[in-house]
Structure 1
Amino acid sequence: MKPRNIVITGGGTGIGEACAHLFTLLGDNVFIIGRRAEPLQTVAYQTGAIAITADAATETSWNEVILPQIKQHTDTIDVLICNAGAMGIGKAEDISDHQWHQAMTANLDSAFASARACLPNLVQSQGNILFIGSIASLASGPEVYGYVTAKHAIIGLMRSIARDYGRQGVRANAICPGWVKTPMADEEMQPLINQYQFTLDEAYQYVCRDVPLQRPATPKEIALACKFLCSADAAIITGTTLVIDGGATAVDLPTLAFTEGAIRA
């Protein structure tokens, strides 16, 4: 099989890093993009991926930095994985304009700017875009207004591209992971670690106690799902949201009271 050219935003850590490892192992040419040079260079050294330090959320970065560096190696983009993102936390009345815009930029603007920049190449190659959403694309956690709003919007962006560009051979899909053991999720465990003196693993076990599989995913498990949706095996799949959450969203929340041991001090 001919090697593909795969662009991954947020490619220095977490799911993006796992995708870089997997796709380079498959023999694909991988370009990883991120704002922090050090983790990108580490992944590039480990995998042979090409690191591009830039902000994927701006048109200027794409036109002046990212696309020119990609074009030094290839004129074709076959797959775009929009993985860049960050948390956006706080109560509605406490979030400043700056914090709100930060959350939108990191999660939504980066996905849109990346898709807009790569679509001409993807039309030419009849490639596909995979957006990394979250179960926060489908439901709301407490006091994460920026993150939840942006991740919901990711699904609308994906569906719009699937509708408008499908006739030109471009597929667009999204995955919605639940808890995944990534550096960002590790930070989210910190309040529980501080409050209950948990270890990191105990904190993950605690947040997954009502998840049917009772554990978080590994980044590699999410990357394997990305592999499928970006492959020829998924050639008829577009406009689809694949939930990868250990069964979390299958749970009927009002019935948790009837779960054995659900009443806690």
Structure 2
Amino acid sequence: MFSLQQKIAVVTGAGSGIGKAVALLFAKQGAQVYVADINKEQADATVNEISSSGGTAQSLVCNVAKQKETQDAFATFSHIDILVNSAGISHIGKAEDTTEEDFDRIYNVNIKGVYNCIKAALPRMKEKGGIILNLASVASSVGLPDRFAYSMSKGAVVGMTLSVAKDYLKDNIRCNCISPARVHTPFVDGFLKKNYPGKEAEMFDKLSKTQPIGRMAKPDEIACLILYLCSDEASFITGNDYPIDGGFVKLNN
């Protein structure tokens, strides 16, 4: 089950965090993985890790916020079976203290970046069908403090997911998204080090306990849900947003 043999998969943001976990798992399941990331060094590191385990992968250095750059990167493919839009950035702040520059930066990566990759991938999926999986967030459906721009961007991801799923049913293209709560990635460690120097362990514990399950998710756990939704076993699933949140949305009362 969940074999990706003979599949070509492009995973954005695959140089670290959730994207990297997805790339590693997809390769393990037999996919030919293209590790798309703005950071060549990190992309190459993921490729090397896959190759050393017997998998097949190549780096695809790309700034998803730039449409021409994205189109040029995807032009190397005649066909894509799976696109995972994992590249994303965060921002802390309310509406009144979010600057225009901050807002545009979030928009360009988290919204336009997803759009650019979808736009580039669709023509390469129409002939044989394909699967698009977008990374949204619990922030798209639950009010989180100090996450104005980030929540806006993830709400847009859900909207794009539903639209693409509807428009490309006849082309045998499935499109879903997932909405994680907090996941322990290098971003979290960097955020704590920058904003809470000397109190990293205390704040990590506090953030972990905001999930009713009592901890943050591991990137591997998120990757497993993505694998299922991108596999043939999920062939009847499209146009859905799946929370993977340790009970955050339904049990945090």
TM-score, normalised to structure 1, is 0.87
1:51 is aligned, of 56, 59, 79, to: 59
More off after superposition, 214-223 vs 93-102? 93-102
Q: Does structure 2 retain, via aligned residues, the 8 Å contact 1:192–1:203?
A: no
Equivalent position SS for 2:119: helix
Q: Does structure 2 retain, via aligned residues, the 8 Å contact 1:204–1:216?
A: no
Residues 1:16 and 2:15 aligned together:
no
CA distance in 2, matches of 1:210, 1:97: 30
CA distance in 2, matches of 1:135, 1:240: 14
Equivalent position SS for 1:149: helix
Equivalent position SS for 2:157: helix
Equivalent position SS for 2:60: strand
The AA in structure 2 aligned to 1:62 is T
- Alpha-carbon shift at residue 186 of structure 1 (Å): 2.1
Q: CA RMSD in A?
A: 1.7
What CA deviation, in whole Å up to 9, does each residue of 1:151-191 have, x standing for no partner? 01100000000111112111000010111111122233347
Q: Does structure 1 retain, via aligned residues, the 8 Å contact 2:211–2:252?
A: no
Aligned position for 2:226: 226
2:93 is aligned, of 83, 86, 90, to: 90
CA distance in 1, matches of 2:102, 2:203: 27
Aligned position for 1:189: 192
Aligned position for 1:26: 29
CA distance in 2, matches of 1:198, 1:101: 29
What CA deviation, in whole Å up to 9, does each residue of 1:104-151 have, x standing for no partner? 111111101100110111222211100011111212322221111000
Q: Which has the larger radius of gyration?
A: 1
Q: Does structure 2 retain, via aligned residues, the 8 Å contact 1:21–1:47?
A: yes
Q: Does structure 1 retain, via aligned residues, the 8 Å contact 2:192–2:200?
A: no
Q: Does structure 2 retain, via aligned residues, the 8 Å contact 1:57–1:105?
A: yes
Aligned position for 1:135: 138
Q: Does structure 2 retain, via aligned residues, the 8 Å contact 1:77–1:127?
A: yes
More off after superposition, 125-134 vs 210-219? 210-219
Equivalent position SS for 1:3: coil
More off after superposition, 154-163 vs 211-220? 211-220
CA distance in 2, matches of 1:240, 1:24: 25
CA distance in 2, matches of 1:131, 1:143: 23
Equivalent position SS for 1:211: coil
Residues 1:158 and 2:161 aligned together:
yes
CA distance in 2, matches of 1:23, 1:192: 34
Equivalenced residues, count: 245
CA distance in 1, matches of 2:194, 2:35: 31
Specify every segment of 5 or more residues in structure 2 that has no aligned partner in the other structure, as ranges: 52-56
Aligned position for 1:235: 235
